[in-house]
Structure 1
Amino acid sequence: LGLNVVTLAFANGECGSENWGAGTTISNVVSIINTLVAAKKKYIISTGGENGVFTCSSDANFLKFIKTYQSAYLIGIDFDIETSQTRAQVDDLVSCTKNAQATYPNLRYSFTVSSFAKSTGGDPFPPLGGQVLNSIKVSGLTNYLINPMTMCYTELSQCVVSGGTCDMGASANQVAKNLHDYYSIPYSK
Structure 2
Amino acid sequence: MTMVLAALPALTVASGPALMPYKDVSLAIDPATPRIATAVHGGPPALLPGGPGQPSQPDGRLPGGAQALVWAFATGECGQERWGPFDTEAFAGLNVAAFAAAGVPYIVATGGEAGGFHCASNAGMARFLARYDSALLRGIDFDIERDQSDAQIADLMARVAFGLRHRPGLRWSVTLATHAATDGSHQSLNATGERVLAAARSAGVLAHLVVNLMVMNYGPAQPRHCPLREAAAGAAAACDMGAAGLQAARNVQARHGIALSRIALTPMLGRNDVADNRFSLADARRLAADVRASGLEGLHFWSLDRDRACAGDADALSPLCHGLPGLAPLGYSRAMAQALAEALAGTAAR
Q: What band does the TM-score fall into relative to the shorter chain?
A: over 0.9
Deviation at 1:81, TM superposition (A): 0.6
Superposed CA RMSD in Å reads 1.2
Q: In the aligned structure 1, how far is the partner of 2:155 from the partner of 2:187?
A: 23
Structure 1, unaligned runs of 5 or more: none
In structure 1, the partner of 2:98 is 35
In structure 1, C-alpha distance between the alignment counterparts of 2:188 and 2:217, rounded to whole Å: 14
SS at match of 1:165: coil
Q: Supply the AA of the counterpart residue of 2:133.
A: Q
User: In the alignment, what sits opposite 2:188?
Assistant: 124
TM-score w.r.t. length of structure 1: 0.95
Do 2:79 and 2:124's aligned partners in 1 also have CA atoms closer than 8 Å?
A: yes
Matched, 1:167 2:240: yes
Separation (CA, whole Å) in 2 of partners of 1:132 and 1:78: 13
Runs of 5+ consecutive residues of structure 2 not aligned to the other structure = 1-60, 232-236, 263-350
5 Å-filtered alignment, 1:84-163, equals 84-120=147-183, 121-141=185-205, 142-157=207-222, 158-162=225-229, 163=231
How far does residue 169 in structure 1 lie from its aligned partner after superposition?
Answer: 2.0
> What do residues 15-48 of structure 1 show as CA deviations (whole Å, max 9, x unaligned)?
1100111x22212232112111111110000001
Distance 2:103 2:196 in 1: 33
1:72 equivalenced with 2:128 (yes/no): no
Choose between structure 1 and 2: higher strand proportion: 1
Amino acid at match of 2:197: L
Mapped partners of 2:219, 2:118: distance in 1: 27
Q: Which residue of 1 aligns with 2:256?
A: 183
Letter in 2 for 1:152: N
- Say whether the 8 Å CA contact 2:111–2:144 is kept in structure 1: yes
Deviation at 1:155, TM superposition (A): 2.1
Secondary structure at the counterpart of residue 161 of structure 1: coil
Shift of 1:154: 2.9
Q: Distance in 2 between matches of 1:61 and 1:129?
A: 24
Per the alignment, in what secondary structure is the counterpart of residue 80 of structure 2?
coil
Q: What is the identity percentage for the equivalent residue pairs of Structure 1 and Structure 2?
A: 35
Contact persistence 2:70–2:108 (CA under 8 A):
yes
* Superposed CA offset, 1:87-113 (max 9, x none): 111111001111121110100001000
Aligned-partner residue type, residue 87 of structure 2: T
Using the alignment, how far apart are the partners of 2:216 and 2:156 within structure 1? 24
Greater shift, 38-47 or 136-145, is seen at 136-145
Pair member with larger Rg: 2
Contact residue 78 and residue 128 of structure 2 kept, 8 A: yes
1:5 paired with 2:78, answer: no
* SS of residue paired to 1:166: coil
